[in-house]
Amino acid sequence: MDKISTFLWLDGRAGEAAEFYTGLFPDSRIMERTVSPIDYPGGRAGEVITVSFMLGGRSFIAMNGGPGHPFTDAISLSIDCADQAEVDHYWDALVDGGTPIQCGWIRDRFGLSWQVTPRMLPALLADQDRARARRVMEAMITMVKIDVAAIEAAAQGGPA
């Protein structure tokens, strides 16, 4: 495990979430399941309390912590996508049972927020040509799922 791991509090769905996420991302696997030796507020003795897993080579821990602590949009995980096909792949998987938001954001079936972002988008938003960056931003804020071709058209000065 890494020195610092992202810790996810889930209401009884830690194993399900870890299985879903590790099945979605390359270079991912479940590392360990920890069974609680005692009853605890989120579950009973003998049940899995935490699942340690790797996503894209980064460590995470999911805990069956019980109700009362839902995720908020104040924290999200961002996916760097090479192209529209990769955006579509992750978008389609994460939106299944989840909620599309705006500007490439999704709240998945577990309540965790994700940003599905084509690699070229941050580069265009930081472009030294501020008029170009503005056109890209104006196009992006009208989108739910990011459309790479429309972003590229906006960058070139065409209709988004």
Determine whether 94 is exposed, middle or buried from the number of CB atoms within 10 Å of its CB (0-12, 13-18, 19+): buried
User: What's the pLDDT tens digit per position in 144-153?
Assistant: 999 999 999 9
Q: What mean pLDDT, rounded, does the chain reach?
A: 95
CATH 3.40.50.300 is the classification of domain 6-64: no
Average pLDDT over residues 135-149: 97
Q: What is the pLDDT of residue 42?
A: 78
User: Where do the domains of the chain lie?
Assistant: 6-64, 76-155
Per-residue pLDDT tens over the stretch 16-30? 999 999 999 999 999
Return the CATH number of 76-155, one of 3.40.30.10, 3.40.50.620, 3.40.50.920, 3.10.180.10.
Answer: 3.10.180.10
The whole-number pLDDT of residue 2 equals 82
Instruction: Look up the pTM and report it.
Output: 0.92
